Structure 1
């Protein structure tokens, strides 16, 4: 009998992408609430408890409520909200974060899917922290641009519908100007930092794609850009979805298109260096809805189904 999968919130942006990724699969059975029954609380609770894996594509409070409704010990949960990302009772769902993280995900019944920005930032920072190339108290800054689908249906409507009273006409805009953001706790926790990074997110007028940048100043004699590249390359060696771009190839690049990996579940990492080798700009390129959301959720689901 095929494992039964219920996407709670399947009509949201992340839920729709997950469903599209799984539409042609015959190794799982997708459970769904009929459109006419979307507000049927009893049916929703029944599906949550009859599923082998429930994928929660809900706001934080709704995700917390959904977890309380699941009384079945057999139902595993993947939560795509921020509600449980730093909860020690949940496994963080970034499979390439550590060598054994995929095994931890596979063995867990509670997995918190990472955020899109943190996926890029942690992918860059954690291997360098582990290698001792970035100090725990280094004043990290993270600069990023995302496709507007990262803001969900509301932002999609604001960007695409000129008749929308809250229409956003800007080709590119900054937000999070108070320097507080829901992704900061997971960046700090899984980036192994002593303090929250200075995070400057922005949105561009493109649907899917993302660039995350972490600039680092190297102290004289402490390391070289080649050391940074080597640490990343060693960490991600053999990974199918994460690629560390060759240093010579990176040196020849003149510009990066944030939409290059749109529609894929892959991520590319780059180390760009100043001519004197004192500055590096670490860059992650990914799809905010791919490796940064729905793609990661399906990857975690496949790992969990192995057990």
Structure 2
């Protein structure tokens, strides 16, 4: 069976990388629009309703408009790569490792996780759910990403002669990722999120520092590592480093596209202080790779088909 797929916003970074991962796959037939048609509401509406699966690679408001263009009688299923529906009622959060593969595969509307929340939730959500970490703790998140995650304007800024060497932002403490982090980790308080951009095209490191000794209970860093390893034991996408713990983590300027994610738990002597770290590709498991993983599940295909999992960054 061939599944008709329409990528609305196919000319953007996420859309282009999704198309690359689908290239040559006989299971899919891409509905494409030329430059003029992409700006024509009628052509978009027709494509959205003709597709078996529509993947929205759009800003939030245009993504909401695209959903409204799909007729109530249409069989089109949706994967939204924007942040418009990540905590919306009636939408499945498209993180199959956390919400369950069956739930994603049977959903009609799937909201792709954000890149930073993917790393944070992969680390924290299973541990809070298991009761190893408290839901009422004031968590902080420190993270750096390649500049491709900022879209066309930031990509152009980093291509300029006066490109910044390091860019930190989010000082209004109201980043759009905050609701999704809180909701899908089951937390009582919003996290303090400190994002930054470094001068490399792709790649991401997300870190959650923990003072375990100040928490109720007697949790050790090794217990957290073991719990994460057990949780992701069957995952073909997410891995937990248990042996040969590195002394540093890097983002390579020459990194190839990668759809996996590595998790690390570092602890001091005694294990009462810990640094939980996720390393991923902001355009891979953080965006396009996750969309293709969800698409595979929606179409009852092998979960990792078309994904780039050969090596870490």
Please state which band the TM-score falls in when normalised by the shorter chain. over 0.9
Is structure 2 residue 43 aligned with structure 1 residue 43?
A: yes
Is structure 2 residue 237 aligned with structure 1 residue 238?
A: no
Deviation at 1:134, TM superposition (A): 1.1
Q: How does the TM-score come out when normalised to structure 2?
A: 0.92
Distance 1:73 1:231 in 2: 42
Is structure 2 residue 32 aligned with structure 1 residue 23?
A: no
Is structure 2 residue 103 aligned with structure 1 residue 104?
A: yes
Structure 2: runs of 5 or more not aligned: 302-313
Distance 1:222 1:144 in 2: 27
Deviation at 1:123, TM superposition (A): 0.2
Between the two proteins, the alignment pairs up a number of residues equal to: 297
1:190 alignment partner in structure 2: 184
Q: Is the 8 A contact 1:261 1:286 kept in 2?
A: no
Deviation at 1:262, TM superposition (A): 4.5
1:229 alignment partner in structure 2: 225
2:88 alignment partner in structure 1: 87
Indicate the SS of the match to 2:142.
Answer: strand
**What pairs up with 1:159-198 in 2 under 5 angstroms?**
159-162=158-161, 169-198=163-192
Q: Deviations over 1:86-119 (max 9, x none)?
A: 0120000011114xx2110100010000000000
Q: Is the 8 A contact 1:120 1:284 kept in 2?
A: yes
Q: Is the 8 A contact 1:262 1:286 kept in 2?
A: no
Deviation at 1:219, TM superposition (A): 2.6
Q: Give every structure 1 segment of 4 or more consecutive aligned residues whose post-TM-superposition deviation is greater than 6 Å.
A: none
Structure 1: runs of 5 or more not aligned: none
CA spacing shift, 1:261–1:94, aligned 2, 3 Å: farther
1:281 alignment partner in structure 2: 275
Distance 2:219 2:189 in 1: 23
Q: Is the 8 A contact 2:125 2:184 kept in 1?
A: yes
Distance 2:160 2:17 in 1: 21
Q: Is the 8 A contact 1:261 1:285 kept in 2?
A: no
Q: How does the TM-score come out when normalised to structure 1?
A: 0.94
Computed over aligned residues only, the root mean square deviation of the Cα atoms, in angstroms, reads: 1.4
Q: Deviations over 1:93-151 (max 9, x none)?
A: 011114xx211010001000000000000000011101211111111000000000000
1:156 alignment partner in structure 2: 155
Deviation at 1:36, TM superposition (A): 3.3
2:266 alignment partner in structure 1: 272
Indicate the SS of the match to 2:26.
Answer: coil
2:244 alignment partner in structure 1: 249
Indicate the SS of the match to 1:96.
Answer: helix
Indicate the SS of the match to 1:97.
Answer: helix
1:305 alignment partner in structure 2: 299
Q: Is the 8 A contact 1:129 1:192 kept in 2?
A: yes
Q: Deviations over 1:192-232 (max 9, x none)?
A: 11011000000000000000000111137611111101110
Q: Is the 8 A contact 2:9 2:15 kept in 1?
A: yes
